[in-house]
Amino acid sequence: MGEAAVSDPTGLFVAAAVLVAATVFGLVRVRRDGRLRDTGQGDGLRLSSGELGVTLGERATLVQFSTALCATCPGTRRLLAGVADGTPGVRHVEIDAETRLELVRRFDVMRTPTVLVLDRTGRVVRRASGAPTQADVVSAVELAAAV
């Protein structure tokens, strides 16, 4: 019975395949995590001041979807608020994903924090799933303000 288990390498191959797949998934996720990227939606994705409950920023608006149990949301909140406070015409708005499910579905929010960068008209110009870097946020704000 012990010899049959040793001579059949199927279990070893399955374990190796699972390990390789998990490693590839992890590397892809780390590479994409928090990156502000183009939404690819053109003019299709917009948020109005009525939906946000505040007026849009004159240059750009930083929208953050958060939840109560999100570990990285407080740091993202501080980062986005700092960029908004230090940049004239930029506003930061935080949305509770648990109470605004219609927006979560519309913007396909799969995790928190999710950050949207809007231009002055409310069009989404950049999006990040996960905590973005300050350099990425500043660059996205400059892009939104130039539109």
Work out the pLDDT band at 9, boundaries 50, 70, 90. Answer: confident
- Tell me the backbone φ, ψ of residue 143, rounded to 5 degrees: -65, -45
Q: How far apart are CA 71 and CA 49, in angstroms?
A: 28
Place of tokens 């183009």: 38
Whole-model pTM above 0.85? no
Q: How far is CA 136 from the centre of its chain?
A: 12
Q: Is the pLDDT confidence value at 61 over 70?
A: yes
Nearest to residue 129, comparing CAs of 62, 63, 46, 32?
Answer: 32
Mean predicted lDDT score pLDDT of the chain:
85
As a whole number of Å, the CA-based R_g of the chain is 20
Work out the pLDDT band at 139, boundaries 50, 70, 90. Answer: very high
Residue 49 backbone zone (phi > 0: left; psi -120 to 50: alpha; other: beta): alpha
User: What dihedral angle (degrees, nearest 10) is formed by the CA atoms of 132, 130, 112, 139?
Assistant: 30
Work out the pLDDT band at 12, boundaries 50, 70, 90. Answer: confident
pLDDT at residue 21, as a whole number = 66
- Cα angle 77-82-85, degrees, rounded to a multiple of 5: 120
Work out the pLDDT band at 74, boundaries 50, 70, 90. Answer: very high
Q: Mean pLDDT, to the nearest integer, of 30-39? A: 58
